[in-house]
Every structure is written in C-alpha cells, then in structure tokens.
Chain A
Amino acid sequence: MTNTPVILTRDLTKSYGSSAAVQELNLSVGPHRITAFLGQNGAGKSTTIKMLLGMVRPSCGEGTVLGKRINNAEENRDMRRKVAYVAENKPLYGYMTVEQTVRFASSFYSDWRADVARWLLNEYKLPPERKVKALSKGMRTKLALLLAFARHPELLILDEPSEGLDPVGIEHLLQMLVAQAAEGVAIFFSSHQIAEVERVADHVCILDNGHLLVDASLDQLRQSYRRIDLVFASAPPEREFRITGVEKIQTKGHQMRVFASTNAEAVIQRARDLDAVSVEVAPVGLRDIFLETVKEN
C-alpha cells in the first residue's frame, strides 16, 4: 500500500480581480481514506475542486491528482479517466432518458461496472425510459450519484453529495461511500453536513476564505480538542493561559472557557497550579471545532 497522495497542491491560488478565492493552498489528500472538505459557502471548496479537474486555471501554484499535473491539459484528461466526480448541482442532460444517460456515461470509462449500475437503477427505482427532465429532484440526484458509484475509480470527488436527498437517501449515500472506500477508492468530498462527516470521514480539511485552517485526522481531532471550563476565586488570569494549543479563551465573571486544539494537559496543569476552584474538561464535537475555527479566522 503506497502512501502517495492522490491530491497534492503547492501554493495553489486563484484570484478573481483583487479578491482571492483560494490562497496558497497546500493540500495533501492521502489514498485509502475518506477525506472531508469543510467550509462555509464561498470558502473556496468548489473553486479548488474545479482547479483540480481542469475547469478553472490556477492563478498561481500547482497541483497533481493521481500524480498527473492539473495544469497540463493532456495529463489532466488522462487523470479524469480514473477520477469520478459529481458536481454540486448534480448535472445531467435533460433530453436523455435514464437509460441513455447510463449508456452515455459508461462509454467513457473502462472502470464502469454494469452489474452495479443495474443494481443501483433497481435500488433507486429509476425508470429507464423516462427523460431526465421529467424526473423529480431526488431521482435526479440519485442518478447523478449513480454515474459515479457504478464505477471503480481511483479517486472519487463529491461536492455536497447529500444535498437534495432525504434521510433514507443520505443513509444510502454514506453506505455507498463506505463501500467504495472498502474497495480501495480514495474519497474526497465537500459537505456542510457535519453529522455525516463525523460518521464516515477519516480525515478533515477545513477551508475558510481560501485558507486551509485545519488538516488533521478526525480521530486526532477527537482525541486532542478539548473544552476546559474553569472557575477561579478571583478574576481569571487569561494571560496565563495563552499557551501552545489554546485556540480561544472566553471569560465571564469568575468563569473561563478555554478551547484547546492540543496540549489540554498543560492547560489543566496550569489551572491546578493557579488554584482553580473547578476544572471541567469536555470533548468538542466537529461542529464546534468548525464553528470556532472559522469564527476565529
């Protein structure tokens, strides 16, 4: 099992006029894992993905996907043979029927699996003869995802895959993601749905205003991010707690709340050294990590 990154960027930048959508992005997405790409709307997630797939040209910097340069048209095209991508708006050709769509997509990829396609068509109850423009939004989403899941690519890139799906659909989507991952497909997906990310992601990248703020394994975040609530007899000595790992300190009267991304033990030790009246430690869920990280930026 090699560990060559499936996506690697170096100072990848995209500016539109004076504003930068993506700023000096250094992304390294590993194989054999599920990486989630979090960020607010407009943080630069879709722009990054488009640069990787050759739809948008970087202003600066470079990148490779599956070892192929994203800036080079032929290499990028070569790479797209082994990458499955579903855009945020789940694009499909309205004038094609479900069956024509499946036949069309399958004709481009040698990694197409007809048996999986058939099974999914059945599972999703997609009528083969119906034109795409006559399908409901949920069915269109499922068909668009089917075009990716019926393949066995090296890398699967999904932009907000669960948008447009009901809870049953979302559950099925996550199961398909897990199934692909179990077959060795590297998965890179962007999402707003923190709950889903927390369940299936191995690794999390948080993008804000074009900058990569967090790039860590989810387990590592779970183990090291802590919220420490302290109560002091007198005014809480905020200055004493500005140590490595502390992301944010909030003070209210005698209470102090410390968010530490690492080094929680040092914070606890200092609290005890400073005779804190009460020390309570709690884990921090991904939603709070995301909100705190983005707010602080």
Chain B
Amino acid sequence: MLWYKAWLETRSRFLTCLATLTIFCAVFVGHAQGLIRPEWKTDYNRLLFVTQQFVVIMWILAVVLLGMGGIVRERAIGTSSLTLSLPVSRARLLGIRVGMGIFEAIALAVVPWTTIFLVSFLARMPILISQVGFYVLLLLGGGSAYFAMAVLVSSLVEGEYTAPAVAFGLVLLTAIVFDAWLRPFNLWRLVTGDFYIDRHTYLLSGHFPLLGTLASLSAAALMLLASVGVIQRREF
C-alpha cells in the first residue's frame, strides 16, 4: 500500500495545484472570448504562447512542491522509524514516491492544456492538437529536470521547511543563471517554446527539440539515480 501512502501524502498539494492551473488556464484563455475573429488568429496563438509561459512557471513550482517529502523529511517529523522498519527496500520507497510524482506531473501538464483545447474549441477558435501536444511534451520533457532536482534536494536536505526553501531557491537560481550566462542552453526558453516560436504565426514550428529534451531527461535520470544512492547510504 505504498502507492496509497504516496497518494495520501501528496493528494492535497496535487489537487490544489491542479485546480489552480486548470482554472487559471480556463479563465485566461476563456477571457479571450472577445477575439472571435478568424483574422485575429495570430493574436490568439500569441495568447496561447503567453499562457504557456505562465503554465511553465506554475507547473515547475508545482512539481518542485510535489517532489518534496520522502524518508528524510519523515525523519524530521518522526515517522522514519516506522517506514524504514517495513520490509521494503529504500530504493522502492523512493521509486514509488517518484512514480506517484511523475503521474501527478503528467496530469498537471495534460489537464490544463486539454482545458485550453476545449475552451478554444467552444469559443470557435480551435487549435491544432499538434500544438497542444508540442506544448505538453516541451513541458514534460524539459521540465522533468526540475522535478528530479526537487527529489534530490529532498533526499539531501533535512528539515520540513528547509528542503522546499532550498529547492525553490535553486529554481530561482537556475532561472537567473540561464538568463544571464547560458542563453543558448536556457531551459526556460526551451520549455516555454521560445526557441521554436514562429514570430509571424505564433505557432510552434520546426521539429520537436529531441536533443534538448533528451538532455533534460538525462539530467533528470541522473539526479534520480543520485537520490537513490544518497538515500541508501544515509543513516536514520
């Protein structure tokens, strides 16, 4: 029943973030009801592009929040003796927590964009599914590194409030660093689609950035593996 435990632990965080994201998207996009003119399609696409920027910020903050927890946090609140006495390996404990987090992260990307798709459809400004897919995959592929970073931080940093503080601090730091020095490798711009936006049509064009996404996913995988190692060596 470890999945159930992981669900109970993240349930309120997840549902709150999901509601916030979805309502935001529905309202933000729905607000553009006034643009129901085909010739204003470009502006609508631009609106979607802007929406993605907001979605990215909120999604990344949400998955960082969801990446918190685990047995290091349990040590701070006093339940690690119970969890660690279960006949379950530490790798499995982490794996299930990460698995639940991944499911929730996917839902947090798919549901809001599906809402945008539906709202657009109902406003008679239908958008291409391929665009939706592009945005969602950018989010998941590129943003996965942030989730993994949160998991790693939660495995290293003890303290119920210290871990999230460090994780959010790192998010801010990477944003600044990417913007200041690593412009060509700016993860933010990858995830928001900034690299692929056609400034005329405001549609995402070109090939899907496999290389960038792969780099992000690899970084994510490495961080998750590191988390397993950290957890296995740690003393409680």
A56-B235 contact, Cβ under 8 Å, with A87-B82, A89-B81, A92-B79: yes
Residue B78 is within 8 A (CB to CB) of chain A in the complex:
yes
Residue numbers in A under 8 Å from B232 (CB-CB): 73
Q: Which residue of chain B has the shortest Cβ distance to A78 in the bound complex?
A: B87
Q: Are A93 and B87 in contact (CB under 8 A)?
A: no
Tell me if B86 counts as interface (CB < 8 A to partner A): yes
Tell me if B85 and A77 are in contact (CB < 8 A): no
Residues of A within 8 A of B84 (CB): 53-55
Main DSSP-derived SS at the B contact region: helix
Any chain B CB within 8 A of the CB of A248? no
Cβ-defined contact, B89 with A103, below 8 A: no
Question: Which chain B positions have C-beta within 8 A of A77?
Answer: 87-89
Chain A interface, >50% SS class: loop
> What 3 pairs across the A-B complex have the smallest Cβ distances?
A87-B81, A91-B82, A81-B87
Instruction: Tell me whether A93 and B89 are in contact in the complex, defined as CB-CB below 8 angstroms, given that A53-B84, A57-B235, A104-B1 are known contacts.
Output: no
Within residues 25 to 52 of chain A, which ones have a CB less than 8 A from any CB in chain B?
Answer: 50
Interface residues on A, range: 20 to 34
A55–B231 alpha-carbon span in the complex (Å) = 11
**B1-55 CB contacts (< 8 Å) to partner A:** 1, 4-5, 8-9
* Contact of A80 with B85 in the complex, beta carbons under 8 Å: yes
Contact A80 B86 (CB under 8 A): yes
Of residues 83 through 104 on chain A, the ones whose CB sits less than 8 Å from some CB of chain B are 83, 85, 87, 89, 91-93, 95-96, 100, 103-104
Contact with A89, one of B1, B78, B235, B236 (Cβ below 8 angstroms):
B78
Identify the closest chain A residue to B71 (Cβ): A55
Q: How large is the interface on B (under 10, 10 to 19, 20 to 34, 35 or more residues)?
A: 20 to 34
Contacts of B86 in A (CB 8 A): 80, 108
Q: CA of A93 to CA of B236 in the docked complex: distance in angstroms?
A: 17
- Cα–Cα distance between A83 and B78 once the two chains are bound (Å): 20
The reply to whether the CB of B115 lies closer than 8 angstroms to some CB of chain A is: no
23 contacts between A and B (CB under 8 A): A55-B80, A55-B81, A55-B235, A55-B236, A56-B236, A57-B235, A73-B232, A77-B87, A77-B88, A80-B86, A87-B81, A87-B82, A89-B78, A89-B81, A91-B80, A91-B82, A93-B8, A95-B9, A96-B5, A96-B8, A104-B1, A104-B4, A109-B87
Known: A87-B81, A89-B78, A93-B79. A50 touches B236 (CB 8 A): yes
Contacts A50-B236, A55-B81, A96-B8 supplied; 18 other A-B pairs, CB < 8 Å: A53-B84, A53-B85, A54-B84, A55-B80, A55-B236, A77-B87, A77-B89, A80-B86, A80-B87, A87-B81, A89-B81, A91-B80, A91-B81, A93-B79, A95-B9, A96-B5, A108-B88, A109-B87
Q: Which residues of A contact B (CB under 8 A)?
A: 50, 53-57, 73-74, 77-78, 80-81, 83, 85, 87, 89, 91-93, 95-96, 100, 103-104, 107-109
Q: Which residues of B contact A50 (CB under 8 A)?
A: 236
Q: Are B82 and A93 in contact (CB under 8 A)?
A: yes
Whole-angstrom distance between the Cβ of B32 and the nearest chain A Cβ? 40
Q: Which of B86-103 contact A (CB under 8 A)?
A: 86-90
Alpha-carbon distance between A283 and B69 when the two chains are bound, in angstroms = 54
